[in-house]
Amino acid sequence: MQLLHTTDEDFAKKFDRIVRDRRESDVQVGRDVATIINEVRERGDEALVDYTARFDGHGLGEDRDWQISAEECRAAHEALDPALRDALELAAVRIRAYHEGQLPADRDYTDEIGMRLGARWSAVDAAGLYVPGGRAAYPSSLLMNAIPAKVAGVERLVVTTPTPKGEVNPLVLAAAHIAGVDEIWRVGGAQAIAALAHGTKRIAKVDVIAGPGNAWVAEAKRQLYGVVGIDMVAGPSEILVIADQDNDPEWIAADLLSQAEHDPTSQSILITDSGSLARQVEDAVDLALMKLPTAKTAQASWDAHGLIVVVDSLDQAPALSDRLAAEHVELMVDDPQALFDRLRHAGSVFLGRHTPEAVGDYIAGPNHVLPTGRRARFASGLSVLDFMKRTSFIDASKAALAAIGPAAVRLAEAEGLPAHALSISTRLK
């Protein structure tokens, strides 16, 4: 953990270094992934059989080896502890309600020259969701990715997930049942992304691929971007807590650690105007780490990337926060709205002392798939728009074309595109 004060002589330089630090492992997987994609494209299901045997120790033979049935998902849902099932269903209801409010409105109007203009939104036909296997298989993540697709109106929602040695996570199956996933394939890694993008005999191709994954999955999505749409390039996640002195240090410590426990590359940052709170939080983190079952990961993250910045005044916080463009920003102050009004770049903002990030991770409603690694400068969280596209339209009357056609002819001629000009002028004769 690094402790900085804005009055430190070299603060600007040190803060700049933190902003630039990508925290991303530059694993050289590009060539391996290109090979896998090519194999799947050429050999289809056979390549999937080979890779799944090699990487997951799972044999794809019979139909039931390939897919997890809707019946299995329903059974997993029914077998859940009722309190946990209620919690999952409450989360689904709230996520659905929030995302229904994102559905975009079509446009259709006639302007002053009598030209009808507009745009119409529609869902993609099919979407693929990657769900990691093993430790990172989170039912909350399935809900957050699947529900926006279904709210958007996607008719065919396909999950691919590795099932190492055949093992599945019943919580994820239950979430798939709740979200209304249409197909689940027992295939993982770059080979799953390749199958979703190009299609095989068994797995029909999709139009958009979303969902988190390891470096191979992320690179496969990047390489296939353009063949299909993808949600985003994800990186290590981060939390930034902006807090005044009137806070319980244990609350802040828990919030910082909730990010740190995800991964050693996660980053937890506190900006405060109170030197004494800074020290108390530091102690509270150390204390909490002694009892935390995920302490090994959380400690590694906190040691390598943890940061506390003591500012003279919280007035300085928005500018620092915008440079970090953090995935999650908590505003633990009396008037969080005033600070929020001054923020420009953040994935999601948590206002007030009773809004820990974790409530947004699970159940508040907004999506927890958010831009990481300073990408909130230009990217947004996952939404129904990621599963939709817009078709613009133009309907010109003869009079409307007569009104503006001659100007278009002039522009086409100036650009050296005579057939463009002709297509208008021949109608103006």
Contact 186, 202 (CB under 8 A): no
Helix axes 275-291, 295-305, angle to 10 degrees: 150
Nearer to a second copy, 232 or 242 (CB): 232
What residues from 370 to 429 belong to the interface with a second copy (CB under 8 A)? Answer: 370-371, 375-381, 383, 385, 389-398, 400-401, 404-408, 410-412, 414-424, 426-427
Residue of 159, 189, 152 lying closest to 173 (CA atoms): 159
With beta carbons less than 8 A apart as the criterion, state whether 195 and 187 touch: yes
Is 237 flagged in the annotation as binding? Answer: yes
Q: Which stretch binds a second copy (CB under 8 A): 99-107, 157-165, 182-190, 306-314?
A: 99-107
Pick the binder of a second copy from 4, 129, 146, 171 (CB under 8 A): 171
**Strand, helix or coil for residue 19:** helix
Name which of residues 330 to 369 contact a second copy (CB under 8 A).
336, 340, 343-367
CB atoms closer than 10 angstroms to residue 105 = 7
Q: Count CB-CB contacts under 10 A for residue 291.
A: 7
| CB closer to a second copy out of 274 and 294 | 294
Phi/psi for 148 (5° steps) reads -60, -35
Q: Does 13 bind a second copy (CB under 8 A)?
A: no
Q: Which of residues 263-282 bind a second copy (CB under 8 A)?
A: none
305: annotated active-site residue:
no
Among 57, 107, 245, 276, binds a second copy (CB under 8 A): 107
- Beta-carbon contacts of residue 223 (< 8 Å; ≥ 6 apart): 30, 33, 34, 37
Residue 82, interface with a second copy (CB under 8 A)?
no
Among 204, 288, 300, 304, binds a second copy (CB under 8 A): 288
Binding of a second copy at residue 44 (CB under 8 A)? no
Q: Give the phi and the psi of residue 7 in degrees, each rounded to 5.
A: -85, -5
Rounded to a whole number of angstroms, the minimum distance from the CB of residue 54 to a second copy is 26
Closest among 131, 158, 139 to 88, alpha carbons compared: 139
Would residue 77 show up in a list of annotated catalytic residues for this protein? Answer: no
**Residue 58 or 375 with smaller CB distance to a second copy:** 375
Q: Which residues pair with 185 in a beta bridge?
A: 67, 160
Full strand arrangement of the beta sheet holding 208-210:
183-185, 156-160, 126-130, 208-210, 229-230
Which of 198, 328, 345, 368 is catalytic? The answer is: 328
Q: Which two tokens stand for residue 220?
A: 């496969």
Which one from 261, 327, 330, 357 is the annotated catalytic residue? 327
Q: List the one residue from 19, 27, 53, 84 that touches a second copy (CB under 8 A).
A: 84
Return the bridge partners of 389, or none: 122
Residues within the annotated binding site?
A: 130, 191, 214, 237, 259, 262, 328, 361, 415, 420
User: Could you list the active site residues?
Assistant: 327-328
Q: Which residue ranges make up the annotated binding site for substrate?
A: 237, 259, 262, 328, 361, 415, 420
Output the known binding site for NAD(+): 130, 191, 214
